[in-house]
Structure 1
Amino acid sequence: MSRIRMTLPIFHSKFLSYAKGWKTKNKIIVIESDDWGAIRTSSREAYERLKSDGYALDKSPYALDSLETESDLTELYSVLDNIKDYRGRSACFTANMILANPDFAAIKASGFKDYFYEPAELALKRDRQRRNVLALWKEGRNRNIFIPQFHGREHIRYWEWLEALKNGSPEAHETFTLNMCGVPLRASKETQSFYLPMYLDDHELKSKSVNIKEVITEGVKLFEKTFGYRSLSTVAPNVTWTPTVEKIWYDNNINYIQGGLTQIIPNGNGGKRVAHYTGERSLFGGLYLSRNCTFEPSKSSDSGYWQISLKQIRRAFAFKEPAILSTHRVNYIGNIKSENRDRGLNQLKSLLDAVLDKWPDTIFLSTPELGFMIENNIQSIDALEIRGEQIFPLVS
């Protein structure tokens, strides 16, 4: 029964998308990539130590995820910059950013009683492989190949993590010493993960003394301080959020809501799935932008995996929809295993080369550009290109 409840909204969402979703004659590709700036596995040495201690890290591709290095970004940029649409514009990632991570030293100093966070850029500056990552983020934005947007302040259910530390969880403490917040669920000895949806229902957050408005608003401010412009779009961690969160986004001038075919609304009982389509208005006047394609090569050993994504793009274009791809940072990270990054980049290149071969008139856009087109009923790409100051509004 639960599988039926999960499947029906997805079919409903596909129907809504085909029937009511925003249509365009342009063949638009938007690539939305989540989790940039977040810590995960801290180092190759930490990975090997945890494996030797019996953690089944091979069971989850997310064990290969790590805070991006300079080489991760430069190699990604090289691929994107060499793939250009008919206008001469390079392929681009909408990079959904995490702006803060736990402050391990401060948490330990409190005796694990209190939670503290620090801006992501501080962790970058402490590591010689990452000292120029912040500059590379900004360079990517200036080159229109890596477009930062807001994902969240942090990407962990930090109150449950802190509780596990207080209660003496061996796994939480062992990974804490490695500057990590646990391991992926499938790798866990204690069958626990803290990389879970943060935006829970109001009652549950209140019971945990979590002020989600403060969490989101502080994250937005960190984004604006880091990049100097406002993020017009966002995606909730684990694509799970509530109407309360939508109101907080609205109050922070976030207009475009990225997400999958369905939204999971926490209700204290497993969550409710609600179908959305691209161009649909939210309760507060924002726009939903529904991802209709996936590209996650880290989850597959098949060298032809990219062809699945190509079929999804073909379907989107057949229904005159923009192809909005979901792809996570882990696919392009080589700090733990370089072959993971190599596979991801090779498959990305194969996919985008095939797209341009089949549809030479393809247009690469970022999420805020697509949202702006839909909101303002723009069909001409030329009309869009002169609106940059409205799409990336500077912080006054």
Structure 2
Amino acid sequence: MILEDKMMRLSLIHYLIQLLGWRTRRKIVIIESDDWGSIRMPSKEIYKKLLDVGFHVDRCPFSMYDSLERGEDLSALFDVLLSVRDKNGNPAVITANSVVANPAFECIENSDFREYYYEEVTDTFDKYRGCENSFELIKQGMDAKVWHPQFHGREHLNIIRWMKALQREDEVTMLSFKQEHFGLSDKVTSKLKVRYMDALGNVGKETLEEESKIIEEGTRLFEKLYGYRSKSFIAPCYTWRKEIEPVLANNDLKYLQGLSFQQIPVQEDPLRFQSCYHYMGEKNRFGQYYIVRNAFFEPYKGGTVDYVGECLSRINIAFRCYKPAIISSHRVNFIGTLDEEYRNKNLELLRELLKRIVQKWPDVEFLTSDQLGDLITSRL
């Protein structure tokens, strides 16, 4: 009885948060997947080394499973996406929110940590075993219309905070750096008192100028790599300040992906945030529109959750509220570098989810985030 009451309350909450905003009678499904292109855990060998020096990498799913996408990870994922078709004959497509650069560790160290340097993601792919053909496969996925990159930032890393820690020779940050790794969190070590993954989680005029430069360089590099300007953006860790939105708008980023609550960094405390509510199709004063996730397929979280059933329930609620279903599903779910069996299990769950979507809603349409944004703006 207690469990039933809890489920009813959750269902009511899911309905209530979708009352506001843009509506459609079309059965639209978008799959937004973050973190592509970023280094997380470089290899099994580095995982073991970090574990041996006292980092609890076995307590963080992103450290246990997430890594730079290999060719075989992409091929296996594309096969699943191609296994279904929507009412228009289109396969399922992932809006692949991608970073375009990673730290150039050797150059940073050679500068005695005085300067930050980055390398393009294609150079990163060339360095990692199994990733040498990843970018070519990404282009094939784009041609097959199962893969649609959008901008997730230049790096998935708070450069400003990270470099300050390296310059003061912070013990845990330096140990991580020596393994060409930066994906630290408080789950990995209690000695870490800041966050490194929230790339835009800074405050102050000086850091705003640096963040603006990062966005400008990142969007230019995105266009160079993929041949078009990204129309949508999602901030790493859903964290950004309002002052960055005009910078995003000036770089042609019209649609802001995210959850229903934006995390706004607070100056006094780097681990504390203010929350700002957003709803589907909300427009800000810079002419940008918020696209809000309302369904989740995140089996990396583990436990006994029926991730397929839970996602289908959220999709059903979205459709009953005349909203598109926007599914969040991070890269970590689909990478086999550290555990191939884990990847294969999650891909089968994704295959089941997609199959049940097209069976339950034969008139479903698979769109990308920017396509949805264009649809929203065309009807306002």
**TM-score normalised per structure 1:** 0.87
Partner of 1:229: 228
- Root mean square deviation, CA, Å: 2.2
- Give the deviation of 1:15 after TM superposition: 7.1
Range 301-310 or range 191-200, more displaced? 191-200
Aligned counterparts, 1:33-182, within 5 A? 33-63=33-63, 64-182=65-183
* d(CA) in 1 for partners of 2:347, 2:364: 20
Q: What amino acid is the match of 2:225?
A: T
Query: 1:16·1:276 contact (CA, 8 Å) conserved in 2?
Result: no
* d(CA) in 2 for partners of 1:256, 1:322: 15
* d(CA) in 2 for partners of 1:328, 1:49: 25
Structure 1 residues 338 and 303 mapped into 2: Cα distance closer, same or farther (>3 Å)?
farther
Aligned counterparts, 1:23-34, within 5 A? 23-34=23-34
Instruction: Give the 3-state SS of the residue equivalent to 1:148 in structure 2.
Output: strand
Partner of 1:338: 340
* d(CA) in 2 for partners of 1:272, 1:303: 29
Partner of 1:241: 240
- Give the deviation of 1:184 after TM superposition: 3.0
* d(CA) in 1 for partners of 2:140, 2:194: 34
Query: 1:158·1:194 contact (CA, 8 Å) conserved in 2?
Result: no
Partner of 1:18: 18
Query: 2:14·2:314 contact (CA, 8 Å) conserved in 1?
Result: no
Query: 2:172·2:191 contact (CA, 8 Å) conserved in 1?
Result: yes
- Give the deviation of 1:267 after TM superposition: 3.1
* d(CA) in 2 for partners of 1:182, 1:128: 19
* d(CA) in 1 for partners of 2:263, 2:11: 15
- Give the deviation of 1:177 after TM superposition: 2.0
Structure 1 residues 43 and 128 mapped into 2: Cα distance closer, same or farther (>3 Å)?
closer
Structure 1 residues 193 and 119 mapped into 2: Cα distance closer, same or farther (>3 Å)?
farther
Q: What amino acid is the match of 1:343?
A: K
Aligned counterparts, 1:249-328, within 5 A? 249-269=248-268, 270-302=272-304, 304-328=306-330
Q: What amino acid is the match of 1:56?
A: H
Instruction: Give the 3-state SS of the residue equivalent to 1:95 in structure 2.
Output: strand
Instruction: Give the 3-state SS of the residue equivalent to 1:22 in structure 2.
Output: coil
Deviations 1:150-198 (A, max 9, x none): 0100111122222222222332222222210153320125234643323
Query: 1:263·1:273 contact (CA, 8 Å) conserved in 2?
Result: yes
Query: 1:172·1:182 contact (CA, 8 Å) conserved in 2?
Result: no
* d(CA) in 1 for partners of 2:117, 2:209: 13
- Give the deviation of 1:209 after TM superposition: 8.2
* d(CA) in 1 for partners of 2:194, 2:359: 42
Instruction: Give the 3-state SS of the residue equivalent to 2:87 in structure 1.
Output: coil
- Give the deviation of 1:20 after TM superposition: 2.6
Deviations 1:15-41 (A, max 9, x none): 775333211111110000001000111
* d(CA) in 2 for partners of 1:201, 1:49: 31
* d(CA) in 2 for partners of 1:161, 1:95: 25
* d(CA) in 1 for partners of 2:330, 2:193: 21
Partner of 1:216: 215
- Give the deviation of 1:338 after TM superposition: 1.1
**TM-score normalised per structure 2:** 0.91
Q: What amino acid is the match of 1:144?
A: K
Structure 1 residues 182 and 20 mapped into 2: Cα distance closer, same or farther (>3 Å)?
closer
- Give the deviation of 1:219 after TM superposition: 0.4
* d(CA) in 1 for partners of 2:111, 2:350: 44
Instruction: Give the 3-state SS of the residue equivalent to 2:291 in structure 1.
Output: strand
Range 37-46 or range 10-19, more displaced? 10-19
Query: 1:292·1:312 contact (CA, 8 Å) conserved in 2?
Result: yes
Deviations 1:210-233 (A, max 9, x none): 611101000000100001101111
Deviations 1:300-329 (A, max 9, x none): 143732211111111101111100011111
Structure 1 residues 209 and 309 mapped into 2: Cα distance closer, same or farther (>3 Å)?
closer
- Give the deviation of 1:377 after TM superposition: 1.7
How many residue pairs align between the two structures? Answer: 367
Query: 1:95·1:146 contact (CA, 8 Å) conserved in 2?
Result: yes
Partner of 1:390: none
